[in-house]
Amino acid sequence: MNKPTLYGTIALGAIIAGALYLNSADRNTEAPASTPQAGSASLAPNVRSDATSSGGTFAPPDPVGQSRHDSTPPADPRLAALAVSPANDLLEFVTDGSGKVIAEIDKDPASISFKKPLREYTYAGERIIGVTVYRYLPDHVEISRTRVAYKPDGSVDEFAQTTSYSDSAMN
């Protein structure tokens, strides 16, 4: 087998593997019809909370009544990065006094990020304008920030993402 044929075969295999991976990831992230879905149009989720008025933690609400997610996708696909994560037993949601999720804390004892923040949300009024995502690695933390500015009509005016690295894991 000559080199171009070998490289072509490897590239084709990588493309097929990537397509299979993305297809299986899509199926694994689909929620049952009775649960809220990620990638919501509601960028400022209206969350019921048993937390005190000064903030606190809570269990995510039932799908009955108010929910944190809407089933329609956001008008601008870039806004999906700002959506609050779906309800999950391995996440603890921290809310402010009005019930908006301001942070997600890892509750997985087997995770390197156990009891550390995974995502922090910034609001302007009722809209999420920023998300900070922490990815914990053995020797450093990857910090990704997504910021958005809106036009008066509600469409996206500016959208920015940055990534930085911390030399040591956050405590």
Which pLDDT tens digit goes with each residue over 120-162? Answer: 999 998 899 999 999 999 999 999 999 999 999 888 999 999 9
For 22, phi then psi, to 5°, come to -65, -40
Q: Which residues, including other chains, have CB under 8 Å from residue 139's CB and lie 6 or more apart?
A: 167
26 and 38 belong to one structural domain? no
* pLDDT tens-place string over residues 17-46: 767 666 665 444 444 443 333 433 333 333
100 and 135 belong to one structural domain? yes
Q: Which domain covers residue 2, as residue numbers?
A: 1-30
Q: How far apart are CA 101 and CA 121, in angstroms?
A: 7
Q: Residue 149 falls within a domain, yes or no?
A: yes
